[in-house]
């Protein structure tokens, strides 16, 4: 049997300074690999008055990118959307998977009394937060909670060339309190370029006047000294804000331009190519959604809108439980909330 080693022979812990390369700088690549493997979920919702081209846009947005054309084709006669429906597609680009879900909603504004016509939309958005919160608070929660929270709401404005309607103002305001709202001018082919510019300016003024908070947000803190990166970021946001509302045209049909089939509309004045930047801002909208702001919208939904919902729910729950007097040895939120959290 080996004799025990005398204490003096054991090496005391030494403080070693590593001068060689250890490789922790690969952490960014490690994170990237993990994120790529996991993929992203991005959920967009379209909202607006009846007949504004919401369903058409849903079928135009990523049409060119879908290899599988399993997307339901619409019948030749246009049907009104009667309930909230979601369509998901998985798009893959350079090994990055994006699960894109577009939620189509029925147009509002057709009733004699349009009071509370926004309720089903708000309810749907909150239900997704609620489902997420329930899963988050389950004692044995899933490693990755499926994210059905709406990250962007495209709000369709009628191309009247005049002003927003009081109903649009109300609905936009209500939704902007619970999600990222991005206004768009629908059916922009019915306005001339000059009319578009003037209408955009008018909408912007109204949005500001009514205190509607549209995405992307600028939080101006007066005394903060900005770094160069912050300054560039702020300029980009400002540039995009100047472009909003995007003037868009949607189409589910192809038209032939120079022998090439493109998504477009044949009008009395000529052919409109949806993807042509000099015809409309559809491409700017799509780039904004997928290229420049996808991650930020996902993050903002979680850190601003979902966070506000979560806090409100948990505070309400805590109050109701303490009122019930069932608060014996401190709150056990994990088991309580899982069963009690419901859409506000």
Ligand X SMILES: Nc1nc2c(ncn2[C@@H]2O[C@H](COP(=O)(O)OP(=O)(O)OP(=O)(O)O)[C@@H](O)[C@H]2O)c(=O)[nH]1
Residues that bind Mg ion (CB under 5 A): 54-55, 81
Cα distance between residue 213 and residue 228, in whole Å? 26
Subset of residues 209 to 268 that bind ligand X, contact rule: CB under 6 A: 249-250, 265
CA 254, 256, 260, 262: dihedral to nearest 10 degrees? Answer: -30
Q: How far apart, in Å, are the Cα atoms of 69 and each of 63, 73, 153?
A: 8, 9, 24
Q: Which is nearer to ligand X, 189 or 281 (CB)?
A: 189
Cα separation, 104 vs 20, in Å, equals 56
> Which one of 63, 71, 81, 127 is in contact with ligand X (CB under 6 A)?
81
- Closest C-alpha to 114, from 165, 40, 149, 42: 165
Residues 90-129, one symbol each (x = binds ligand X by CB under 6 A, - = not), give ----------------xx----------------------
Q: Which is nearer to Mg ion, 49 or 134 (CB)?
A: 49
Nearer to ligand X, 50 or 148 (CB): 50
Size of the residue set binding ligand X (CB under 6 A)? 18
42, 44, 47, 54: residue in contact with ligand X (rule CB under 6 A): 54
Name the segment binding ligand X (CB under 6 A); options: 14-22, 49-57, 85-93, 296-304.
Answer: 49-57
CA 49 to CA 106: how far, in whole Å?
8
CB 331 within 8 A of CB 321: yes
The interface partner of residue 56, options being ligand X, Mg ion, none and the CB cut-off 5 to 8 Å by kind, is ligand X
Phi/psi region, residue 191 (left: phi>0; alpha: psi -120 to 50; beta: rest), is beta
Running DSSP on this structure, what letter comes out for residue 49? Answer: B
Nearest to ligand X of 51, 161 (CB atom):
51
| Residue 51 near ligand X by CB under 6 A | yes
Residues of this chain that bind ligand X (CB under 6 A): 50-56, 78, 80-81, 106-107, 187, 189-190, 249-250, 265
């Amino acid at each position: 049997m080996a004799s025990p080693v005398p204490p003096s022979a054991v090496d005391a812990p030494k403080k070693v300074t590593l001068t060689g390369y250890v490789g922790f700088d690969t952490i960014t690549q490690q994170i990237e690999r993990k994120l790529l493997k996991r993929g992203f979920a991005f959920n967009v919702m379209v909202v607006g008055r009846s007949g504004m081209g919401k369903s058409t846009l849903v079928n135009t947005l990523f049409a060119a990118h879908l290899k599988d054309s399993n997307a339901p084709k619409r019948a030749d006669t246009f049907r009104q959307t009667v309930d909230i429906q979601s369509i998901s597609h998985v798009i893959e680009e350079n090994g990055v998977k994006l699960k894109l879900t577009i939620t189509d909603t029925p147009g509002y504004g057709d009733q004699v009394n349009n009071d509370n016509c926004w309720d089903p939309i708000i309810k749907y958005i909150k239900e997704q937060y609620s489902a997420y919160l329930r899963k988050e608070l389950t004692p044995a929660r899933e490693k990755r909670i499926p994210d059905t929270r709406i990250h962007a709401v495209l709000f369709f404005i009628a191309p009247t060339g005049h002003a927003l309607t009081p109903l649009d103002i109300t609905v936009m305001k209500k939704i902007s309190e619970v999600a990222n709202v991005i206004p768009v001018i629908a059916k922009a082919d019915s306005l001339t370029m000059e009319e578009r510019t003037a209408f955009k300016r008018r909408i912007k003024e109204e949005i500001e006047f009514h205190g509607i908070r549209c995405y992307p947000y600028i939080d101006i803190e007066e005394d903060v000294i900005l770094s160069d990166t912050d300054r560039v970021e702020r300029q980009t946001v400002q540039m995009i804000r100047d472009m909003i509302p995007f003037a868009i045209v949607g189409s589910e049909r192809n038209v032939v331009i120079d022998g090439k089939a493109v998504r477009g509309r044949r009008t009395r004045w000529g052919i409109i190519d949806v993807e042509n930047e000099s015809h409309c801002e559809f491409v700017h909208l799509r780039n904004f959604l997928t290229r420049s702001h996808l991650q930020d919208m996902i993050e903002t939904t979680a850190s601003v809108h979902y966070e506000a919902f979560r806090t409100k729910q948990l505070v309400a729950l805590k109050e109701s439980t303490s009122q019930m007097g069932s608060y014996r040895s401190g709150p056990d939120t994990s088991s309580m909330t899982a069963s009690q959290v419901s859409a506000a």
